Structures are given as structure tokens and as C-alpha cells.
Chain A
Amino acid sequence: MKYTFIIRRLLSVVPVLLIITFATFFLMQLLPGGPLAAYENNPEISQKDIERLRHEMGLDRPIHVQYWAWLKNFAQGDWGYSFTTKRPVLAEIWDRLPNTLYLTGISLIVALIIAIPAGIISATRQYSLFDHITTTLAYIGRSMPVFYSGLLLIIVFSIWLRWLPSGGMQTLGKEFSLIDSVRHLFLPVLSLSTLIAAKYVRFLRTSMLEVIHLDYIRTAAAKGLNERVIIYKHAFRNAAIPLVTVVAIDLPVLFAGALFTETIYSWPGMGRLFVDAATRFDYSVVMGIVPAIAFLVVVSNLLADVVYAILDPRITYS
């Protein structure tokens, strides 16, 4: 593989980021309202005050001037200050990012632990009872939105049975304990990992089915190779290639946060930060998160390509 390929792909990030930030910035300006919208209906705040704040926050400048000023600062590593909290945008993001990585990271691992064996077994024993159950569950998992399944889980486990807390990361007012932390993690991870696992199971099952009917697998079986070796060493390695690609492309979600899961379970993550910022017209926070995620999307796509080439020697990029 040539390094020029990686460098070229990384350079292609620049125009992508420019287009995305430009579009985001202008789309936000098209929305009615603005960072000072909340001030408009407050009799305590006079029009004079609003005009003064608009000027002091630089919102009275033409849009292209505001964008250029933002871009210049951003390129120099200055992400600006939140319009609402008046704190640095990076501080806002750093406060939330670990919480999101904690939740999405564990969920992804759990999802893979569920999905890989389930996908393999349901492909090797196609149309068995296990396969039928897995396929049905995967369908339900894929089609049931978290804002529905999550509420069901809360009603059953938190309100009826009172076994698990309904939200948050820890019991407030108690010392940190691992059990408490896991109790709070349980339902969100359950919701999120079933959603992810359902998708991966479908992928893996399909690609396994494709592979195990290929000639080289039959040859391996004909020469009397152990079934385990055939499935896990020969078949799975090839069947896993599309899955690796999908997982790699999903990686930015780890950082962007799972909005619905975070909302249902009061998880203080990136997804909620983004939505709160968008609804409050906090342009600078939105403009901090969007390019960061866009960058990660491009990088993880590149990563997927690179891993693909490593797993499958037939692929070369030039």
C-alpha cells in the first residue's frame, strides 16, 4: 500500500470540512431565531439591551464576515466560546466526550460479543431454531426505536420492579462505587448494544452464508479439516471483512453520541450537548461539534479502507 494514498485521502478532508462547515453555518442562519431569541420575549430586557448584546457578540456583522472570522480562529485552534454558557467550546466538548465514549464504547464491545457468535451460529445452522430466534430478534431489535424500547425497559425495570435506576450515571449523593456505576450503565447499554448487535448479526450472517458455500470451504471440509477450524479460521476471517468495514464506519458515532439513548436515560453525553446547542442556537458549539464529527467520518472511512486492504491482500490502492 502506498502512503501517498493515505496522505491524499487525508488532504481530501480539507475541502469536505470547508463545505460542511460552510453549509452548517449558513443553514443555521436560515433558521428563525438566533442566540438572542430567548431574550426577545422578556419584558425585563429592552430592545436597547438586545442590540447591545448583538453587537458585543458580533452577531450584527454580515454572515460571510462571521463565517470568515470563525474559520480563521478555528484554523488557529481557537474554537470560540459558547453563546449561552460563555465557556470555551472545547471545554464544553471535553466535559461530555468521556461520558459518551464510556457508554458507546462499552455498548459496541457488548454488541460485538453478542453479534459475532450469534451471526456465526445462525449462519452455520441456517433455518435451525436458533437461527429463527436470532433472525426474529434481530428484526425486532433493528425496527424497535430506542425511544420506545428504552421507555419499556424503564417502566419494567425501574418503575415496576424497581431493580435498576431509570437514568443518570450515578446515584447522586453517594460515594462512587462500581456496582452503582454498572447498575446505571445496564439499561442504556442494553438498549444501545441490542440496536447495534442486531445490525451486525444481519451483516455477519449474510456474509458467512456467502462464504461457507464457496469451493475452498468445501475443499477444506472434503480434506477432513476440523469443522471449528474451517468455520473460525477459514470462513469467519473472510466473512468478517464486510463487518470490519461497517464497524469502522460506525466509529464516529462513538464520539457523536447516541442521541436517543442519551435522552431517554439522562446520559450527559455529546448527543445531548449537540441537540441542546442546536435548539438554543448556540452556533459556536454546533460549529465545534460538526467539523469534529465530519473529520472523524472521513478518518474512519479511510481506516475502513486500510483495514480492508490488510484483511484482504487482493485489494490494493493506487
Chain B
Amino acid sequence: MIRKGCALLLLTLALFSLAPAAGAEKTLTLGIYQEPENLNTYIGVQTVITYVHKPFAEYLIDVNEKGEYFPVLAAEIPTVENGGVSKDGLTITYKLRKGVKWSDGAPFTSADVKFTWEAVVNPKNLVKSKSGYDQIQSVETPDEYTAVVKYKEFYAPYLTRFAPVLPKHILGKLENINDAPYNRMPVGTGPFMVTEWASGNYIAMAKNPHYRNADKVKIDKLFFKIIPSREVGIAQLQAGDIDGVWDLIEAQIPMMENNPALALDLSNSLTSERLILNHSTPVPPNNGNPDFPHPILGDLKVRQAIDCAIDRKAIVDKLLFGKAKPGTTEIPHGWASNPDIKPVAYDPEKAKKLLDAAGWKAGPDGIRQKDGKRLRLKITTTTGNKLREMVQQVMVDQMKQVGIEFYIENVPSSVLFGSWANDADRKKGRYDIMMYTTGPGIDPQQQFEGYFHSKNIPTEANGGSGYNYTRHRDAELDKWLDVAGKSTSMADRVNAYRMAQKRVYEIVPHIYLYQRLTVHGFRSNVKGWKSNGNGIIDAVETWNIADWDIDKK
């Protein structure tokens, strides 16, 4: 009986394995390990939303793989030269692309641009951020293809607003957009349109027949399959159940690299893994007050010593499989970067000399001391991240060689990134060194100024806003960041960012370890994708999905 059962089992298995043959339609399935909260980036906060919304949502202006702006729904990029930007930078005139239709066939016009602004500033809408939009005085629409945006005061990242544009004819009638059907079944102008969202299961899209280049789009059906984890995603990719998987981590590269059926999309993102060095005392009651300097890290020489005692090449080669670039400064590439800045060279001898000069002398166990105090620093990162933990251990060893003692005390990310109200150590300045990843958007102003301007030190008075967690105050850095934030000339801004980065390099508030890689996996029959480490909101590989194709298996 058992034998019969086995035979029957095998027979059924064999029967099931006769998968139905693929039709003429081209279907592409991408695995995502997070289910998007919704598909409205003005409300939802996750990166995965950007990844899933790119196929249907379009911006006025987007950014390509070289970090350059290019017009999408705008016909051209407004500049002072072409009259799109007024002399004082307060009036931005967008000429819109003609003949664009929403996926339901309605025409795209300047009224949609105006509505987008109205929706963001509408107090009934639970939008995550009003940055920039709250600086807008009015949006005028002299004709269907012109939108004139008037700012109250100059807003440097103006090119990154209106990403994406919302459809007025769908959302304009609603009292609020918080639980609008649009958030799950959006209407966009992009190459694809959402056709179904099976909760917890998949989001289905089909080619948008009203897309201006619909005949050039090769994929007919697109699925975002919701999977429980990256590991499951890799297993399904290997099994051929999905054609691509979103957002893997560096440690997963080796297990996929040598499989000819798979292709890896690796790109250097604008974010860097870094050490954030507290310049103020971590000890209550004066914790986080820059008037009370950190007993060890308040000294520039010590910060420089740590910087050149780190062997970045060893970390990148051994722990990141040689794929990542060593960290340099805040903006690693793109229009605002400073290519003159090279990674700090590994030089333990120089580190020792700097520490000697700072008065830290070697103690009996090799760890340096000054006035009876040990050169001992706590390094904190998020728990459960194996790569970070390994980098920490390597650094503990590298520091020991120059007489610095690092000790590790990690906390869950929700604790590390907690709020002022939650009394988080980062916001209140109760730490020595933190290690995590952050980085600028394609317009760096918000992040750069937030992390490096002295006015952005979190205090009781400002309700803990701002990200200057190191609590450094540097007049020169402030000056360049102000210039970058106020100048209407792109050339002046570029120069200001370059100078600001040079200053960061000199005063070492952050130590840049390595540029983060974004890792995406594909089956090798998926063609046309192009790595892009830049994005207006987040850098996502689906930015050029209109050009993708899939060969027969």
C-alpha cells in the first residue's frame, strides 16, 4: 500500500511539473520583500513605494544614471538662461510636455501640477513632508502647458519638487487623499498602469495603452510579487519563479555571482556608511551641548587619527568582496560632488603621531592614556546587521594597533533612530561614535545642511529637529552651506558644495567608510535595465523600466 502511495505521489508530482507553456505575452515578475503601505509617495514613506511607483508615476524632472537632471513631464529643465527661472530664483516656469495622457485617457495639463501643490499643502491630507511645497506662494496656469510656480523665498532644491504629479481629475473631487482609491489603484502617465493589488500577494500592472511611447514598451505584464524576505527572494530567483529581486545586501553577492542564470545589478548609491563622531560631551547633564566638548573626540587630532587608522581597503576587499568604493565625503558622485577629494589613506604611523601630538601616550596595555583617562570610545550601530558587526570588529582591531580602544554596544534601529520625544541617545547626544548609513538626495541641500550646519544641532529649543548629531560648529562650513542654499546659479552652488565638502574633509565630523552598494538580482534573460545610483526620491532600478525586455526562457 505504501509503495502504491509513493508511486501515486510521484505520478502527481510529475503531472504538476508539466507547467503550462508561456504565451506570446511578455510577463516580468519582480520580487519585493516589503509590501508597500500604498503607492502614493506623498503619504507612504518606504523606498519600496518608489520602486513600485516608477513604472506608472512620472515626475516633472527626473535624474539619470550619471546624476544629471532630465525633463520627463516638463518639456525642458527651467534655468535662468532659458527664462524658466527668474533672476531672484523665486519664480519657476515649467513648460510641460504636450500630448501626454493619463492611463485612463484624460489629458495631462498644468492643472495637475497646480493640484499636486494644493494636495500637499492641504491640511486634511496626511502627507509625510511639505518641504518646499510650504514655501510656494502660488502656482499659476496661464495655459494648459505652462505652470508658473512662485516661491515665497528661494528654495534651492526646486527641481526635485512635483515628483510625481498627481491627477487632478481623479483626486481633485475628494475631501482628502488619505484613503483614496488612487493610493492602491493609481492613475499615472508612465509606461505601465496598475491593474490589481492582491493584498500580501502581488501588485499587477499592464502596459499603459495611452503612454506616449507605448509601442516601444516591450513588457506586456508586470508583477511585483510580495515575498517574505530577501532570502526567499533569492531562492525564488534561483528557481526561476521570479525574474528579478529588489534590494539585496552586499553579503548576498557571492552566493549569486557565479550562477550563469543570474545577473547582478550593482551600483554605487549616494549614501555612505559612516562614523558619526560626537563633538559634545555624552555625559548628562550637559550631554549634547556643544559648549561642553567631548573629552576625547573634541580634539581634531584624535578624529584625524581615527580617520587614518582605518584600513578602508581591507574592509571593502574582505567584507564587501571588493565591490564597494571606499568612502570619501558627503556627496560621492553626481553634479554636486568634489572629485578632488580622495579617500583618506591608511596610515597607522601618522595616526600614532597625531595621538602623540594630542597628548595621548601609550599605557601599560598598549591603550593610550592622558591625565589618567583611557582612550576608550563606545561605537554603536544597529543590531542584527552582520556586515556592520563585522566592520565594527575589524575596526576594533585596527584601532587597537594605534592604541585606541573601541568597544561595541549596539541597539535596535528603532532605538538608534528614535525621536527627541522618545529621548533617543542620538538626538540627545549621549554617544561617542555611531555607525550607520545615510546620504544626500540628488539635491543635497536638505541632507547636507541638516547634518552639517550649526543651526541644525538638536536642542530643546528647536524641538530636537535637525540632524547635526555631531554637534560641530564651524563658521566656514555654515557659510558654504548658506551659499549653496541661497544661490540661484547652478555654478555657484556646485562650487559651494565643493568647498563645503573640502571643509568637512578637514574638520572630520563624519568618517566615511564606504559607499553603499545597491544590489539587485535578475535572471540573465532580463535585458535593458541600467544601474542608477541616483534618484529624486530614492534611487531605484525601475527608473527606466520602459526599456526593459525579457527573452524567452
Contact = CB atoms under 8 A, between A and B. Distances in A.
Contact of B422 (A32, A39, A169, A273): A32
A19 interface: no
A37 B239 contact: no
Interface in B120-165: 126-131
Interface residues of B, number: 69
Given A46-B465, A162-B17, A167-B227, A39 B200 contact: no
Given A47-B463, A95-B199, A266 B225 contact: yes
Interface string B1-33: 000000000000111110110000101010000
B223 interface: yes
Interface bracket on A: 35 or more
A162 B239 contact: yes
A234 interface: no
Contacts of A180: 20
Interface string A20-36: 00000000000111101
Nearest to B177: A86
Which of A157, A168, A174, A262 has the largest number of chain B CB atoms within 10 A?
A168
Contacts of B286: none
A166 B236 contact: yes
B180 to A, nearest CB: 9
A47 B126 contact: no
A172 B232 contact: no
Nearest to A266: B227
B17 A56 contact: no
Contacts of B232: 166-167, 263-264, 266
Chain B interface secondary structure, helix, strand, loop or mixed? loop
Contact of B225 (A47, A172, A263): A172
B536 to A, nearest CB: 10
Given A159-B239, A179-B16, A180-B20, A172 B223 contact: yes
Contact of A159 (B37, B46, B221, B238): B238
Contact of A96 (B46, B200, B223, B236): B200
A38 B418 CA distance: 9
Contacts of A233: none
Given A92-B199, A169-B201, A172-B225, A32 B236 contact: no
A276 B179 contact: no
A44 B29 contact: no
Contacts, number: 173
Contacts of A169: 201
Contact of A48 (B17, B199, B465): B465
A30 B17 CA distance: 49
Contact of B37 (A44, A85, A183): A85
A146 B13 CA distance: 21
Given A172-B27, A266-B225, A163 B16 contact: yes
B68 interface: no
Interface string A139-164: 00000000000010011011101111
B441 interface: yes
Given A47-B420, A159-B235, A168 B199 contact: no
Given A86-B126, A96-B200, A168 B241 contact: yes
27 contacts: A31-B414, A32-B415, A32-B422, A33-B418, A38-B45, A43-B451, A46-B129, A47-B420, A49-B131, A86-B38, A95-B200, A154-B235, A159-B239, A161-B17, A162-B239, A164-B17, A167-B227, A168-B201, A169-B201, A171-B19, A172-B27, A172-B204, A173-B29, A177-B20, A183-B16, A268-B201, A268-B226
